[in-house]
Every structure is written in structure tokens, then in C-alpha cells.
Structure 1
């Protein structure tokens, strides 16, 4: 149940072979070996062609560019919405949801300082972005849908986002993608295994 599931979904969408390594929470994430990959001691992280990429939005964008044959990024001249919503979710959405989950309600003064302002304004903006749209960045599925969709799906599942009609409709169009189902099944099985140990 981590952001690693988003990267796993993206790897499945790319359709290229990969090796998945599970890093347990706690000491393994702070081991010297893992800190050499990601000094933050967080997942996900990928290593491709000897290069390390961390931050799940960056991983999604990187994989879309590294494997253009998968068709997960719009052509460069049509990437405005793709970049806008991919990084809106990585910035304001992530920060607003996390801040609320940690019990912090920004004062009016804080709202001017914080990039997201308020959770309500952020979610209103996101709802407007997905309203009456199957995909967030044009007329076909992209890496931005993996990332934005994951935030919306998990947000509704865990109660950090309201089940707004716009969010429900958008997530309904993504949740049954075969690549997402593979990543979701792996996560469920890993959790069941951990529960038995």
C-alpha cells in the first residue's frame, strides 16, 4: 500500500520486462544498499540503464519517454495538459491531501504560502479537470492517468478524497485496466503473505 504500486502499474502499462524488488518498511528502507539508490529511504525507485529515478510522477514521465512505443505520452506539441495535471497531482494534490491527513489545517496566512492553498480548492480544481473526460490529457490514456488516477482511486478508498461524481466516473474508466489489475493483485497477495508471517 505505497506509491510503489503506482510505479508498478506504470511498469505494467509499458509492457517491457522488469525486475520487481520489494523493500520492506522500516530498517530495509534505511539500509546502506537502499539509501545508495534513494537517499530519502522511500519507495518507489527505479534503476534503468544505470540511472536512478525516484519520485513516482517522475518515474511515470520517465518510463513514458523511455518507451515511446507504449504510447503513454502525447506527442510533444500536445503535452500541456499532460504535464499540467501530472505535476498538479504531484504537487498541490499530494501536499493538500497529506497535510490534511497529518491533521494540519492551514490558516488564511498559510494558504497564501502553501502551493495548494486549501484542500477544497485543490480538489475542486482536480474535479474540474476530470469532469466529463475519460482521460486527463487528451483523447487517449497516458502516464498522467496512471498517476492522477491512482491518487483519486486511493483517495476515495481511504477517505482522503470525497467520492465526488467526477472522481467516481473518472476512476471507473481506469480501475479495470489489465495493467492496474496486475499491480493491484500483486499488492493484495504481498499484503496477505505479510499477514501470514
Structure 2
């Protein structure tokens, strides 16, 4: 197995986002599946990610953590995959990739935990409120294209993952725009391969052919 690109993950984690991105890239990689209370807390892994969490990648001498950063890194490292627009055209790409990693994830997690900022404190949480985030997200994925234009990109891997999970588990509102967007991105061959690999690793399915 290749050692130039190593993927550290757990199938019951946000590592599923990175797995999808890796399958879109198409470069060979080696997977290290780590458990939460054991391998993630060892000195060896803490040297890779001091937070003791997954996902992370080691690409040559570079270590990258945080899903959005990994997606952006892989898109740049493997330009032949066509997963990032040319630099002068990246405004929407960066905007929605990091919107999903920041306001969207924070709003969804806080709502799941039962936290809602009082009206006078909304500016402190950055995203305002859950409804405002849903409205902004709906605007980003409305229409027939993708979040960064007419071509699928790494931003769609991240945004798509958030919407796909949210619709499945009820953590985002069910809106026609979200369902239509997930239908466009969720059936991709790379997503199917990634899901099969992670389901197999979690003992929920058979390994893919």
C-alpha cells in the first residue's frame, strides 16, 4: 500500500468527508483506522494531531487536519482531478467551503446540543441563528449547478456531506433545494465507493469489489 498519502480515520467520524474527497481525487492512499480511546490518544498519533481526533492526512512530509483544510489541500495537491476552480475564480469556492466548516457546522451542532443564543448575544456566536444559516445555505445550493459554479468541486464534497448527513439524521431542515442538491451530488461514484469502504470498516456492509 502507498505510504506517500496516509489517511487517519474512524468510519464513525467526519473522516467520511475526507474519504469521499480521497475517492474523488483518485490517488492511491493508505488508511489507518483508529479507535477513539486508544490509538487516537497515543503519543504517536498526538504528534500528528494534538487534538487526538480524526480525520488527518500525512502527504509526504505534510500533515493536514480539519476536514475543510484537507479537502482544499487535496484539491490543490492533485489538480488533475479538477476539484478546485482556477485561483482567480475561487471566491464562491472558498466562501461556501468555509461557510460549511464554520457557521453551518456550529449552528447544527449547537442546535443538536439544545443551545440557542439569546437575541442580545447572537452576534457573539458568529452565525446569528439557525434559521439565518439555513436560508444562506439554501441560497448557495439553489438552482441546477454546484456551490462554486457549473462544475463539482471540493466545496461540494464538504457542503454535500453536511447536507446529506443533515437530511438523513434530521439535523437540518428538509427543504426542496437541499434535497435536489443532495440528489445531484450524493449519487457520485466516488461517494458510493467511499461509503462502501467506511461501512465495511464499521462492520455494516461488505467490502466493495
Q: What is residue 146 of structure 1 aligned with on the other side?
A: 157
User: Which residue in the other structure is 2:98 paired with?
Assistant: 87
Counterpart in the other structure of 1:125: 136
Give the superposition deviation at 1:193.
Answer: 6.1
The structure whose RCO (Cα within 8 Å, separation 6+) is larger is 1
Aligned to 1:134: 145
Higher strand share: 2
Q: Which residue of 1 aligns with 2:189?
A: 178
Choose the corresponding residue for 2:179, options 153, 163, 168: 168
Kindly indicate which of the two structures has a greater share of residues assigned to helix: 1
CA offsets 1:92-151 (integer angstroms, 9 cap, x no match): 001111111111111112211111111111011001110113311011010000000000
Where structure 1 has 5 or more consecutive residues not aligned to the other structure, the ranges are none
Q: Matched residue pairs, number?
A: 194
Counterpart for residue 19 of structure 2? 8
Question: How many Å apart are 1:191 and its aligned residue?
Answer: 2.0
- Normalization by structure 2: what TM-score? 0.90
Q: Say what the alpha-carbon RMSD is for the aligned residues.
A: 1.2
Runs of 4+ in 1 over 6 A off after TM superposition: none
Q: What does the per-residue CA deviation read over 1:150-182, in whole Å, with 9 as the maximum and x for residues that have no partner? A: 000001111101111010000000111111111
Q: Which residue in the other structure is 1:39 paired with? A: 50
Moved more, 18-27 or 58-67: 18-27
Report the counterpart of residue 48 of structure 1 in structure 2: 59
Give 2:126's match in structure 1, choosing from 95, 112, 115.
Answer: 115
Distance 1:170 1:84 in 2: 17
CA 1:109–1:27: 2 relative to 1, 3 Å: farther
Distance in 2, matches of 1:177 and 1:92, equals 26
Q: TM-score, normalised by structure 1?
A: 0.95
